[in-house]
Structure 1
């Protein structure tokens, strides 16, 4: 736009003395900005900040803009922004290079949303992934980005990541921790970051795979006001709501409490489905009834149909939900609280882990209540009583001559366990039916009985 060289200044001086310049235009630059605006542009271009020069010229020459410039300037910026807001936004641009650590279910969705919103995203994961802008270490990520989001699974992973990140942290950095961990671990991570002069934002979230992909997570945030203000545009790229909680550690407590309700409600829904099925009712009728029930929620609306279909594709895995529930139980014990429902939900999740379903969705707790049904007419199909008897006899063989001894041993079991029924006398058919009922209850105590196996009576 402007020619450099010795002849440039005299030419501008001649233009400044001309009558056209006094009216706001240059004789030789009919369709360029006024002289004052051109000088601002020239000064800005020398600093590689063209738009800042346009802003300064706009501030001082609003009435003298040439007819070519308004079409060039952003219409929304001209119409809606005040002078102070424009000056602040141009002088202090938002973060454009964002680092994401952890490319699990949520981390992948968040990084994709950031890219769609125009951010330059650099990523790191403990297991290398073939994704754009993958860097070699957390420290390298901190060298490139001044804002880093951490999506790792547990306390140790968070603290280890923050320590590696802290090697390159400076006062310009903002670190956002999105992990659900113990409040003490979150405070320890904040202390490591702030010791380097950087700012720390605690930001656990609610929402699963679908919410992360759609940018509809809800963040619970805690930290100082300046850090939260800088982090807000980044959180808005992947979230629909940001709820400010208070001090570091308190947002995590909120997240753990909400997960207690989520785990308990899904466990209750699984048991309710089992009751409906045992009553001979169509499970779809239960779905319709729940839609008009006060206890209905978005979680149940999403999970119940998948439990009926036995679709346990992970949106939030069993192992991660178990980790959160175990944190809740530890917090309850530390405060002398009895969390009976939470403990029951923990036991069901732990059972899924022991069966090898830790990577399934946490709604897999319904697997034990809604077993797969064999096709009608199959020769391998057995009645419920036959299945129970076969399973029980495979675990604990019980001969007929040992029934009185079993009855005596069941009476000596620890308090709190259900006592076994007394087997009645009578003919062989009655004894067989009673044994079946006895074995159904005995299955629940198989582990205890296996530790004290029953040997047949020597004849």
Structure 2
């Protein structure tokens, strides 16, 4: 396939490389081209703007930071997309925006899928992401060569916006799991227990989780290098709180701790830095 890609951050860049290594012709635009010159040496095409990118491809993939970034990118895309093209938004964004873009696409004879991913930077690097897709099922099936390039678990979730809704459910679970780990570690320290021993004893039992296995040791070592930015996690949790069907008491509590961390300069640290706020405040 001839694939265009907009956005090449921690997650996007390895996903781009997987597409290239799977034999696709990949064209990339990013706001800071100087940061992705290494892709050019791999044989991937770089473009100075979105119109230049679109004229070379049949499918456009987007993975940017925030819903407002998605909105801005698609406002530009709709000016240059050709009827019959397909767009896939891998950004974790608002479900209502995904629905809005899908409907605008239909009016312009363009198919748009929302396809947020989970698995962090390690999943992107290893090609083992979970991909959650909303939109027309027939389009989802046609785009499987793209998804399979970097996805291990690929799920069709339903109509437009459904992929985003499942991803937000994922973030709600992660937020509460991280809170529980921090509380447990705080308890262990108060009881004179080594948290590393607790990880060893519990990670394969009923209390085990990917968050404990992947981030528990990093919490202990104060290794806050980002696999997923706090600022982006807060964005996801704000999307969750924007719905009004149910009260999310756990999310309301965790998001305030993360907002406090952002105020302290931790916005571009990994989500495991929650332990820092916990140790400071409890």
TM-score by length of 1: 0.58
Instruction: State how far apart, in whole Å, the 1-side matches of 2:120 and 2:204 are.
Output: 24
Select which of 235, 260, 277 maps to 1:351.
260
Give the total of aligned pairs: 275
Instruction: State how far apart, in whole Å, the 2-side matches of 1:301 and 1:136 are.
Output: 41
Structure 1 residues 112 and 205: alpha-carbon distance in aligned structure 2, compared to 1, 3 A threshold:
same
Runs ≥4 residues deviating over 6 A? none
**Deviation (angstroms), 1:369:** 4.0
Cα deviation, 1:3-57, whole Å, max 9, x if unaligned, reads xxxxxxxxxxxxxxxxxxxxxxxxxxxxxxxxxxxxxxxxxxxxxxxxxxxxxxx
- Answering whether residue 110 of structure 2 is matched by residue 175 of structure 1, we say no
Cα deviation, 1:372-424, whole Å, max 9, x if unaligned, reads xxxxxxxxxxxxxxxxxxxxxxxxxxxxxxxxxxxxxxxxxxxxxxxxxxxxx
Once the two structures are superposed, the pairs formed by residues 77-96 of structure 1 within 5 Å of their partners are 95=1
**Deviation (angstroms), 1:232:** 0.7
Once the two structures are superposed, the pairs formed by residues 374-413 of structure 1 within 5 Å of their partners are none
Once the two structures are superposed, the pairs formed by residues 55-454 of structure 1 within 5 Å of their partners are 95=1, 97-129=2-34, 130=37, 131-132=39-40, 133-331=45-243, 334-335=244-245, 337-370=246-279
1:158 and 1:189 in contact (8 A); partners too? no
Instruction: State how far apart, in whole Å, the 2-side matches of 1:168 and 1:195 are.
Output: 14
Instruction: State how far apart, in whole Å, the 2-side matches of 1:112 and 1:246 are.
Output: 28
**Deviation (angstroms), 1:311:** 0.6
**Deviation (angstroms), 1:293:** 2.3
Larger radius of gyration: 1
State the secondary structure of the residue aligned to 1:172: coil
More RCO (CA 8 Å, sep 6+): 2
State the secondary structure of the residue aligned to 2:28: strand
Cα deviation, 1:263-304, whole Å, max 9, x if unaligned, reads 111121112111111211122211112123212112221010
Instruction: State how far apart, in whole Å, the 2-side matches of 1:117 and 1:307 are.
Output: 36
Instruction: State how far apart, in whole Å, the 2-side matches of 1:225 and 1:309 are.
Output: 44
2:18 and 2:127 in contact (8 A); partners too? yes
Instruction: State how far apart, in whole Å, the 1-side matches of 2:75 and 2:52 are.
Output: 13
TM-score by length of 2: 0.93
Gaps of 5+ in 2: none
Instruction: State how far apart, in whole Å, the 1-side matches of 2:259 and 2:211 are.
Output: 21
Instruction: State how far apart, in whole Å, the 2-side matches of 1:269 and 1:307 are.
Output: 10
2:134 and 2:163 in contact (8 A); partners too? yes
User: Which structure has greater strand proportion?
Assistant: 2
